[in-house]
Amino acid sequence: MFGNSELICFRQNDEDKIVLTKELLPKLVSFYHKSMAHVEGMDRLEQTIKTHFYHRGIRDEVRKQIEQCEACAKNKRARRAYEESAPRDATAMPWQEVHCDTIGPWTIELRQRTLTFNAMTMVDPCTNLLEIVPIMRRTSEEGARVVEDTWFARYPRPKKVVTDNGPEFKLEFIAMVKKNGAVHRYSTPRNPQDILAVQRHRQSLVDKRLLRANAKRISYDYAVDDLVYKRAYLGLSDKLSLRLLVPIVFPAFIPTAT
């Protein structure tokens, strides 16, 4: 039972999934699409929903809603691709590496004041676990402090730290990595696959920021959105994905069919 409604489960590949009714299917697809800030493509949205739900029409409904989505058409920035992306080095175990990069500066209008926002992003390339921490200055001292106080203090110490060649990852940052027993490796234009996980998260954040800029919603909605986004299907590494670290999200506030 879920509230006053009875859930019907379907077992597929030794996994129990919640069966969706015809009336509930479009509501649930719309919920996941909006909660993931419209930044995920059709395939990832479909696989995210199929992780815990079952209905024969999930694929058709996902494609129908995305093709008709006005927000996607307006806010998705065109990206001209000239060639295929370099393959990413597969990481079999979590906590072996952390990829770091900075985002910003972004300007934010708050109470008639214009604020500048910069942040450090840290990603485990195996699980896609993401940490974002504001930084006051884009210096190596600030970068070292944030990464050490956040990632190294909170999770098992990685063996390798991958960054670009920015000023935040010089002198003090290099010393901090060495002090914690890890190897510092730079990502270069000739070897871009090392930092693709961070780049993907950063672009998703930009897309979410564009969508939220004109939205009038309460903070609870954003909290639910972020939790759903963290559970998104992650492709080939899905068996060791972040979804194993974050609890299931079920849109309880979507009215069920009667």
Task: Show pLDDT as tens, one digit a residue, over the chain (258 residues).
Answer: 445 667 788 887 788 888 998 998 999 888 888 776 555 678 888 888 888 889 999 999 999 988 888 777 766 655 544 455 555 555 668 899 999 988 878 787 777 888 888 889 888 888 878 888 888 888 999 999 999 999 999 999 999 999 988 899 999 999 999 999 999 998 865 555 555 555 555 555 555 554 454 444 444 444 444 544 454 544 444 444 444 444 444 444 444 443
Residue 149 resides in a domain = yes
- Find the helix or strand (DSSP H, E) in which 55 lies: none
Residue 160 belongs to a domain with what CATH number?
3.30.420.10
Domain housing 128: 97-190
| Number of separate domains in the chain | 2
Buried residues in 111-133 as b, exposed as e (16+ CB within 10 A):
eeeeeeebbbbbbbbbbbbbbee
Q: Name every residue whose Cβ is closer than 8 Å to that of residue 161 and which is 6 or more positions away in sequence.
A: 97, 98, 99, 100, 147, 177, 182, 183, 184, 185
Q: Identify the CATH number of the domain in which residue 40 sits.
A: 1.10.340
